[in-house]
A and B are shown apart, each in its own frame.
Chain A
């Protein structure tokens, strides 16, 4: 053996520990390190930053950050209990682990102030998935909750309690909310928002004791000013402390305020021991955010492989959406630089507050705070330490930062702080031929992490005079929206006329389905009529969903997921008789797989006879409106969510759109139907419905934004009508509602002004268009069955109508038919290598 394999022990498998191991393993191509990870928690690393998402209906599994790695021995539920530096071993209850290098990644613990009663049942901290499960469990059947601590974490916890249906209070010792991030005026604005959401803040007052109720669990808080706050559940979010206990007993030096003391290379006084993440006091300072933690992980991975990386310094800028309010702070937000000047701006009308901190000559931006409207954040954050990109007032006026634009930034300004990309880097990439945002992302990595700098990438392209083409494809110079208007205004009803008058060539698989969808939205007859048939994607052509083996799946429409036993039996009989693989989908339907083209009409016939129509489980159209069981059965329900879901699905079925559309309705704020992950989601309130728009699951999950509150059913339906029609008219091809709203000038507020206040005078037109859709709808499958001409298409072979396609064959898996898997004749083309994205460390 020439080179010895060294032993690396990592203590802690949290966000940073995991990132560290991945970074090391990705670069340790010679296998120099054998890695053991000791983890206290029983589950592998997960995304703590998104912890609260589990109260928004996100499954805990979705937060997983861990990818299995055979080269790493991960020992879950086995905390390190000691370090013997002389013998170089880490001890756990189960044994000893010798190390050549030891990395501490133990994170922080929640600080619980010494107040009587914090050990009562019903009092929790907010740090791990287990904490959140315990909170959810305890909240069941209780009505009031309180959070001790009004900082970032406290407000996040308060929102969680609110979502669990508790009347929530927040007690904060400082005189304002989020005292670390915002100043007094910003705190006042924040307070107004928080109160509107029904959370009661108690500010500038200490909690003196927690009291029990008759059942022995917590029931109330006593405040120093004599007031009492009812709380059957209490979350303590009073700060975090680094977990430095292992270092302490091992005799390693600690930081002045705790934490494992390390230098800029993240090494402790013992040259074999390193610390990363929240437990590390880098040059004496602990960082409670994940980005600086990731930077320490990269530094140590580099060092262990012989590199010389050093900690680049922390960017403590934060932007977050708390309780639906944008809050951002960056740089010297509190103006502690000697001689600095403040410029503030408060607008009660738009309810926004902003403050900039400038150097004493008012030329250099030092930091700032934004509450309510944080659109200027990316530009401002990139300008810290440099000259102001525009006069202060212009920057602070609503959307001013966006208006002033990245074009005004100097070359040295860091546009993307996640990946350390400057304006000069981006300009060089543009000069080198990058003509759009994806190209810029690929060659500089800007915009590939948090994404907050993407608007600036667009602005830099604009500033460089790069025209970002909106042409649909080589056959049309128009965008989808322009084509829509052309077709509508000129009354064009065929593709051939459109391409002859406004395009060139004979079309392609991009423009043809787009035009088919536009024609369908404008209500020009059956999707398979005349020339339209030739434009449809195969799914729309055969009115079913093409699968990998060339067979189709059929998904009977089950509006709202409500179904009678008779209909359930009918579906079962169809599946049995045609030997279809049967699966329940995420959209509350039953998917029947493995139908040949020639079987489709027979299957539809059976379904139509049983009172079904087949459904649009394919194509760019409304898929389903999912629902929870609602107040008909549920103890918590406040409205009939199923009834509404059925009505919405029947109203919008068959509506063709730029992309698929999904929806859901929940019967109360517990949100069992996951409405906020849909393009349009509805959540019941005591007095009506709240409408959320622009959510989606999939590759880039996004929660929908609250659009309007406490609507009557009629108001709700009108707003959804307009929302959908406006989307259909103005979105780009394959642009889902979320991206459509994000790309809109003025975003959600603009959308509200168009759809609620009718600022463009479009509403009557949109309403009429939807009315035409609703009255014009007919069952597309039944229509095919009644038309011999259309039926004729449903044969496997034109010259042998009775021969079934012999290539479609099945085998059995778990008692059901599944396609026989052959190797593709020219295999391997579909697999794309996946690149692991790691932030760069400046060396």
Chain B
């Protein structure tokens, strides 16, 4: 395994700019990140669809499957577990997750990077 390097927190937008259950895309140190606000909290994942190869995950629908919060790709509808990034429809496919938090009304993302 390569070491996991974590970088600094980057402010992305005010919390009220996020519509409930809908995503936005943000540029975090040149990496495209998809950020969601759901009733369970905030999630940040790569905006790149690992299957379709386009930067579209922020436009997918969030929901739940068997109690875990999920995100569905808008291209071909594969569903991902938002808590682990694992694809629930295709074995071996994962969506990279990033730490996200809300500080003073601002949503912040820290990239998780494998180097």
Which residues of A does B touch, CB under 8 Å? 474-475, 505-509, 511-513, 531, 533-535, 537-538, 541-542, 546, 548-550, 792, 796-800, 803, 805, 807-808, 822-827, 829-830
Q: Inside 8 A of A798's CB, which chain B residues have their CB?
A: 12-13, 17, 24-26, 35
- Whether A830 contacts B51 in the complex (CB less than 8 A), given A534-B19, A538-B59, A546-B75, comes out as yes
In B41-71, the 8 Å CB interface with A consists of: 48, 50-56, 59-67, 69-70
Is the Cβ of A799 less than 8 Å from the Cβ of B63? no
- Closest beta carbon of chain B to A807's beta carbon, Å: 4
Is the Cβ of A508 less than 8 Å from the Cβ of B60? no
A sample of 13 inter-chain contacts (CB < 8 A) reads: A506-B21, A506-B38, A508-B72, A509-B63, A509-B72, A550-B55, A797-B27, A798-B25, A800-B26, A805-B32, A824-B52, A829-B90, A829-B93
CA distance A531 to B21 in the complex (A): 9
In B16-31, the 8 Å CB interface with A consists of: 17, 19-22, 24-28
Is the Cβ of A506 less than 8 Å from the Cβ of B25? no
Shortest Cβ-Cβ A-B pairs, 8 listed: A824-B53, A508-B63, A509-B72, A550-B54, A534-B21, A538-B74, A798-B24, A538-B59
Q: Inside 8 A of A549's CB, which chain B residues have their CB?
A: 54
Is the Cβ of A533 less than 8 Å from the Cβ of B22? yes
Is the Cβ of B60 less than 8 Å from the Cβ of A538? yes
Return the contact of B63 from the options A512, A533, A542, A548 (Cβ within 8 A): A512
CA distance A747 to B59 in the complex (A): 39
Is the Cβ of A508 less than 8 Å from the Cβ of B64? yes
CA distance A805 to B56 in the complex (A): 11
Q: Inside 8 A of B54's CB, which chain A residues have their CB?
A: 548-550, 807
Is the Cβ of B70 less than 8 Å from the Cβ of A825? no
Nearest opposing residue in chain B for A506, CB measure: B64
B76 in contact (CB, < 8 A): yes
- Whether A826 contacts B35 in the complex (CB less than 8 A), given A506-B63, A512-B61, A550-B56, comes out as no
- Using a Cβ cutoff of 8 Å, how many contacts connect chains A and B? 113
CA distance A505 to B11 in the complex (A): 31
- Closest beta carbon of chain A to B78's beta carbon, Å: 8
Is the Cβ of A829 less than 8 Å from the Cβ of B60? no
- Whether A799 contacts B27 in the complex (CB less than 8 A), given A508-B61, A508-B72, A534-B22, comes out as yes
Nearest opposing residue in chain A for B50, CB measure: A826
Chain A contact surface mostly: loop
In B85-115, the 8 Å CB interface with A consists of: 90, 93
CA distance A773 to B35 in the complex (A): 36
- Whether A797 contacts B26 in the complex (CB less than 8 A), given A509-B60, A537-B61, A548-B75, comes out as yes
Is the Cβ of A799 less than 8 Å from the Cβ of B26? yes
Nearest opposing residue in chain B for A541, CB measure: B59
Is the Cβ of B66 less than 8 Å from the Cβ of A474? yes
Q: Inside 8 A of A546's CB, which chain B residues have their CB?
A: 56, 59, 74-75
Since A799-B13, A805-B55 are in contact, a sample of 5 more A-B pairs with Cβ atoms closer than 8 Å, ordered by chain A residue number, is A508-B64, A508-B72, A509-B72, A537-B61, A800-B27
CA distance A798 to B12 in the complex (A): 7
Q: Inside 8 A of A537's CB, which chain B residues have their CB?
A: 61, 74
- Closest beta carbon of chain A to B35's beta carbon, Å: 7
Is the Cβ of A531 less than 8 Å from the Cβ of B20? yes
Is the Cβ of A825 less than 8 Å from the Cβ of B53? yes
CA distance A134 to B67 in the complex (A): 65
Is the Cβ of B22 less than 8 Å from the Cβ of A474? no
Nearest opposing residue in chain B for A822, CB measure: B53
CA distance A639 to B35 in the complex (A): 55
Is the Cβ of A505 less than 8 Å from the Cβ of B63? yes
- Closest beta carbon of chain B to A607's beta carbon, Å: 22
CA distance A549 to B21 in the complex (A): 24
CA distance A512 to B97 in the complex (A): 24
- Closest beta carbon of chain B to A65's beta carbon, Å: 30
CA distance A474 to B79 in the complex (A): 14
CA distance A235 to B48 in the complex (A): 61
Q: Inside 8 A of B20's CB, which chain A residues have their CB?
A: 531, 534
Return the contact of A538 from the options B10, B25, B56 (Cβ within 8 A): B56
CA distance A616 to B39 in the complex (A): 31
Q: Inside 8 A of A825's CB, which chain B residues have their CB?
A: 48, 50, 53
Q: Inside 8 A of A512's CB, which chain B residues have their CB?
A: 61, 63
Is the Cβ of A474 less than 8 Å from the Cβ of B65? yes
- Whether A826 contacts B51 in the complex (CB less than 8 A), given A505-B64, A798-B13, A798-B26, comes out as yes
Q: Inside 8 A of B64's CB, which chain A residues have their CB?
A: 475, 505-508
Nearest opposing residue in chain A for B92, CB measure: A826
Return the contact of A509 from the options B17, B25, B28, B77 (Cβ within 8 A): B77
Is the Cβ of A506 less than 8 Å from the Cβ of B39? yes
Is the Cβ of B75 less than 8 Å from the Cβ of A542? no
Is the Cβ of A542 less than 8 Å from the Cβ of B52? no
Return the contact of B76 from the options A506, A799, A805, A830 (Cβ within 8 A): A830
Is the Cβ of B60 less than 8 Å from the Cβ of A505? no
Q: Inside 8 A of B61's CB, which chain A residues have their CB?
A: 508-509, 512-513, 535, 537-538
Nearest opposing residue in chain B for A534, CB measure: B21
CA distance A634 to B52 in the complex (A): 46
Nearest opposing residue in chain A for B51, CB measure: A829
Nearest opposing residue in chain A for B25, CB measure: A797
Q: Inside 8 A of A799's CB, which chain B residues have their CB?
A: 10-13, 26-28
CA distance A830 to B49 in the complex (A): 13
Q: Inside 8 A of B48's CB, which chain A residues have their CB?
A: 807, 825
Return the contact of B55 from the options A508, A513, A807 (Cβ within 8 A): A807
Is the Cβ of B90 less than 8 Å from the Cβ of A506? no
Q: Inside 8 A of B32's CB, which chain A residues have their CB?
A: 797, 805, 807
Which of B25, B50, B67, B93 has the most C-beta atoms of chain A within 10 angstroms of its own C-beta? B25
Q: Inside 8 A of A797's CB, which chain B residues have their CB?
A: 24-27, 32
Q: Inside 8 A of A474's CB, which chain B residues have their CB?
A: 65-66
Which of A531, A533, A538, A542 has the most C-beta atoms of chain B within 10 angstroms of its own C-beta? A538
Nearest opposing residue in chain A for B48, CB measure: A825
Q: Inside 8 A of B65's CB, which chain A residues have their CB?
A: 474, 505, 508
Nearest opposing residue in chain A for B32, CB measure: A807
CA distance A22 to B17 in the complex (A): 59
Nearest opposing residue in chain B for A508, CB measure: B63
CA distance A190 to B21 in the complex (A): 60
Is the Cβ of A823 less than 8 Å from the Cβ of B75? no
Nearest opposing residue in chain A for B24, CB measure: A798
CA distance A505 to B65 in the complex (A): 8
CA distance A546 to B59 in the complex (A): 10
CA distance A64 to B35 in the complex (A): 48
- Closest beta carbon of chain A to B86's beta carbon, Å: 13
CA distance A824 to B48 in the complex (A): 10
Is the Cβ of A548 less than 8 Å from the Cβ of B26? no
CA distance A796 to B25 in the complex (A): 7
- Closest beta carbon of chain B to A577's beta carbon, Å: 24
CA distance A507 to B20 in the complex (A): 13
Nearest opposing residue in chain B for A829, CB measure: B51
CA distance A18 to B26 in the complex (A): 55
Q: Inside 8 A of A538's CB, which chain B residues have their CB?
A: 56, 59-61, 74
CA distance A475 to B20 in the complex (A): 19
Q: Inside 8 A of B70's CB, which chain A residues have their CB?
A: 508
CA distance A808 to B53 in the complex (A): 11
